[in-house]
Amino acid sequence: MLNEACRHTIVEYFNNLEECAIATVNFSVPESAKQAFNKTFTDENKCAILTRLKE
């Protein structure tokens, strides 16, 4: 876990990026796919799995 000083430094870094473009992607996932994903990865960190898939 990050300590407070480190968190502050990271936040300041991102707040000071003027030319940084951060993309947000929204998409629809069929309910059957959501259910299959949740069933397959029940006890795992789903955000971490999605991050690995996007790499």
Is 60 exceeded by the pLDDT of residue 2? Answer: no
Tens digits of residue pLDDT in 3-50: 665 565 666 776 666 666 667 777 788 999 989 998 998 998 988 888
CB-based burial label for 33 (10 Å; 0-12, 13-18, 19+): exposed
> What's the domain count of the chain?
1
Range of the domain at 39: 22-55
Identify the pLDDT of residue 3: 60
Identify the pLDDT of residue 5: 58
Q: What is the pTM of this model?
A: 0.47
Residue 34 lies in a domain: yes
Angle at 49 between CA 46 and CA 52, to 5 degrees: 150
Is 60 exceeded by the pLDDT of residue 1? Answer: no
Residue 36 lies in a domain: yes
Residue 35 lies in a domain: yes
Identify the pLDDT of residue 27: 77
